[in-house]
Amino acid sequence: MSSKATEQIKERLPIQDVIGSYMKLERAGANYKGRCPFHNEKTPSFMVSVDRGSYYCFGCGAKGDIFTFVQEFEKLDFKEALKLLADRAGVVLDTYRAPEERQVEDGRDMLRKVMELAASYYQEQLAKDQKSLEYLTSRGLEQSTIEEWRLGSTKEGWSNVYEHLKGLGISDAHIEKAGLAKKGEKSGGFYDRFRSRIIFPIFDPQGKVIAFTGREKEWEKQVGKEDVHTAKYLNSPDTPLFDKSRTLYGFHKAKVAIPKWKCTLLVEGQMDLLMCHQAGYGNAVATSGTALTPQQLEMLGRFSKNILIAYDGDKAGIEAARRAWMLALSVGMDVKMALMPGGADPADLIKADVDAFKEVIKKGVHVVEFYLRALLARNLPPRELGKEVEHELLPYIKAIESPIDQAHFMTLVAARTGIKEEALYQALRTTPSVVGQGQGKAPLPEQRFDDTMLSQQHNSKHRLIAGTYLLLNNEDKAKIYIHNADTIRDELQFVVEEWLAKSGQSPEAYLADLLASAEKERLHTELQETMKAYLQADQEGDEAKAQEFLKKSDEIRRALTNHFNEKK
């Protein structure tokens, strides 16, 4: 790639403008400063040099130019970042593209133009559509939100958008390929896909319109009309621009907020999404009434592995949330659930009482904890409770990718239900995998150590650590693990040398493995003690202390997961 294009882009896009579109910058003399988007900090240490066209973070060392910033922030490779910034700068990259690639991209550029023209037309129509505006404001949307998200409207009639685009010189082929019109089987003429609907534009990660969702206007439905039974919500079909399995409504804005929140707030519909953003939850994205997909989770996972699901509280919403949970858990996401009270949806709850919604979000719990609480609230007899745990709860634990997380929740379920942990593991081994068929998951342990066995193993490991330190001529460290190391020096050295002869490891490598294993066991013990403390606080009704212990247990689980990943 020639440097000519990159230099031209840099000339047209000042670095402070590019970075300032992703994060808040403040003047600092001739330069700018802000809080680094690549690590957590309270005091700004991220500096942008206008003269050099570069940035540097004194906290984490992140540095580069507009291309490296966009690559890191958007999680793109250089070619993708170049294309994004070239489009933004109005720089044509034709010279640097193969003819076939140029032809494909030219076609996509034409469709982007068509979608932009359609979005502007829909916006103009909404400005004239008083009833639709009244509906949107009655749902709680502010005018600034309506304008920011470019909401629109379509009039009654069969070909308003089609005729408008034709008048602007757009061909039938491009209008159809963009998903805006369909060809009649009998007449051969074209008619609008979206008729008499409120329009929600769908954006790509860079904020360009690639599709639409249309909500029917009940007040315009007439009995006897040909399309009276059409769906309440209608989405654009898949096009060269729009792949619904890889698109999330609101992602173009949420991707900036998700790393700051360290979590994605997942909702179902457009109104839920808009009200969440209006209420300050900029990390919200919506599935737009379709099922969550692995590709969408992959997108979100680049920014955070944590998801909080806030679907509608009705039966359909809970069922949709269940499917989303299973899929997210199976790919290693940490999933929590916020239960909407009384079957409400997030949009209505925010409109009625935004503080109540914030409280619901704040009290979101892991899906296993959510289901466990729901089961315990039914006050079932012990035998029936055991069956429900086996059939309703264990499949969720089986779907969890991390064995460490599985162990955490098995301990929790055992403590809260009184079911022996050994029995739970036995049942878990025969629990069918509802997603992923168990691919990529570690096998369940054949046996569980009780506290005595763990203590004995831990003590033996300490002796081996002490012996290894002796082999490395570090008696001070050896004494930390075995107080009488001097008196049993020969015995310890003999045992360790025998172990090393079997494994073929060096003393240094063997010691590193032993120390890691000992730390892992220490964390397991600490996790058990923390969970007991959490359960005690929960039973006593001390919510603040219970949440404190729950937070601590999450930190320990993360440390355990890190140990597990390092060992792999």
* 8 is a domain residue: yes
pLDDT, one tens digit per residue, over 507-560 is 888 788 778 777 777 787 787 777 777 767 766 777 788 778 877 877 887 777
CATH number for the domain harbouring residue 74: 3.90.580.10
Can you give the pLDDT at residue 102?
61
More confident residue, 507 or 19: 19
Report pLDDT for 162: 95
What is the pLDDT of the chain when averaged over all its residues?
Answer: 81
| Of 14 and 447, the one with more pLDDT | 14
Number of domains in the chain: 5
Q: Are 201 and 250 in contact (CB under 8 A)?
A: no
Asked whether residue 272 falls in the same domain as residue 359, the answer is yes
**3-class SS letters over 466-492:** HHHHHHCCCHHHHHHHCCCCCCCHHHH
Lowest mean pLDDT among 16-20, 114-118, 186-190, 559-563: 559-563
CATH number of the domain that residue 286 is part of: 3.40.1360.10
Predicted confidence (pLDDT) at residue 137 exceeds the cutoff of 90: yes
Do 180 and 192 meet the contact criterion of CB atoms below 8 Å apart? yes
* pLDDT over 70 at 473, yes or no: yes
**Closest among 388, 437, 440 to 417, alpha carbons compared:** 388
Q: Tell me, yes or no, whether 324 lies in a domain.
A: yes
Q: What is the pLDDT of residue 197?
A: 95
At residue 265, the pLDDT reads 96
Helix axes 78-89, 66-74, angle to 10 degrees: 110
11, 25 Cβ separation under 8 angstroms? no
Handedness of CA 243, 244, 249, 254 (dihedral sign): negative
Q: Confirm whether 444 is domain-assigned.
A: no
212, 219 Cβ separation under 8 angstroms = no
Instruction: Find the helix or strand (DSSP H, E) in which 152 lies.
Output: strand 152-153
Range of the domain at 13: 3-95
| Beta strands per DSSP E along 156-305 | 181-183, 190-192, 197-203, 209-216, 233-235, 264-267, 284-286
Q: Are residues 393 and 497 in the same domain?
A: no
pLDDT-above-90 percentage for the chain: 32
299 and 420, same domain (yes or no): no
Question: How high is the pLDDT of residue 442?
Answer: 32
- The β-bridge partners of 197 are 216
Amino acid at 212: F
* Residues 104, 109, 115, 118, Cα dihedral to 10°: -130
pLDDT exceeds cutoff 50 at 229: no
Note whether 238 and 131 are same-domain residues. yes
| Confidence bin at 79 (pLDDT 50/70/90) | confident
Residues near 283 by beta carbon (within 8 Å), at least 6 away in sequence: 254, 257, 258, 260, 261, 263, 264, 265
| pLDDT for the residue numbered 122 | 97
- Burial class of residue 256 in the structure, from the number of CB atoms within 10 Å of its CB (0-12 exposed, 13-18 middle, 19+ buried): middle
Report helix, strand or coil for 331: coil
Give the mean model confidence (pLDDT) for residues 24-35. Answer: 86
pTM: 0.64
Q: What tokens does 401 get?
A: 């990718």
Q: What is the pLDDT of residue 456?
A: 41
Q: Is residue 475 part of a domain?
A: yes
pLDDT in tens, 245-294: 889 999 999 988 898 888 999 999 999 999 999 999 999 999 976 788 88
Strand order in the sheet with 233-235: 152-153, 197-203, 209-216, 233-235
CATH number (domain holding residue 230): 3.90.980.10
Q: Examine the domain organization and report whether 237 and 125 are in the same domain.
A: yes
CA 399/CA 330 separation, integer angstroms: 5
Is residue 228 predicted with pLDDT exceeding 60?
A: no
Same domain, yes or no: 234 and 107? yes
- For strand 181-183 and strand 190-192, is the pairing parallel, antiparallel, or unpaired? antiparallel
Asked if 351 and 140 count as a contact pair (C-beta separation under 8 A), the reply is yes
Assigned domain for 446 exists: no
Residue 21: strand, helix, or coil = coil
pLDDT at 478 over 80: no
Is residue 445 in a domain?
A: no
* pLDDT confidence tier of residue 195, bands split at 50, 70 and 90: very high
pLDDT tens digits along 203-216: 998 889 999 999 99
Helix (H) or strand (E) holding 55: strand 54-57
User: How large is the average pLDDT for residues 132-153?
Assistant: 96
In this structure, the answer to whether residues 280 and 254 fall within a common structural domain is yes
Domain boundary at 201, 217, 242, which?
242
Last residue of a domain, one of 33, 65, 95: 95
Q: What is the pLDDT at residue 223? A: 45
Phi, psi for residue 54 in degrees, rounded to 5: -140, 170
Output the pLDDT for position 96.
Answer: 53
| Residue 72 pLDDT exceeds 80 | yes
Token pair belonging to 243? 């792949």
Q: What percent of the chain has pLDDT over 70?
A: 85
14, pLDDT greater than 80: yes
Q: Is the pLDDT of residue 454 over 50?
A: no
Residues 63, 113, single domain; the answer is no
| Boundary residue ending a domain (392, 409, 438) | 438
Residue 175 is predicted with a pLDDT of 95
Mean pLDDT of 163-185: 93
N-term to C-term CA, the chain: 38
CA atoms of 567 and 560, how far apart (whole Å): 11
pLDDT at 491: 62
Segment 136-143 shows an average pLDDT of 96
Pairing between β-strand 264-267 and β-strand 284-286 as defined by DSSP bridges: parallel
Whether residues 425 and 492 fall in one domain? no
> Does residue 308 sit within a domain?
yes
Q: How confident is the model at residue 444 (pLDDT cuts 50, 70, 90)?
A: very low
Cα-to-chain-centroid distance, residue 198? 28
Q: Is residue 443 part of a domain?
A: no
> Which two structure tokens, joined as six digits, stand for 246?
């890889």
Judge if 407 and 286 occupy the same domain: no
pLDDT of residue 214: 95
- The confidence score (pLDDT) of residue 483 equals 64
Q: Pick the residue with more confidence: 76 or 174? A: 174
Question: Do 338 and 430 belong together in one domain?
Answer: no
Q: How confident is the model at residue 67 (pLDDT cuts 50, 70, 90)?
A: very high
386, 422: one domain: yes
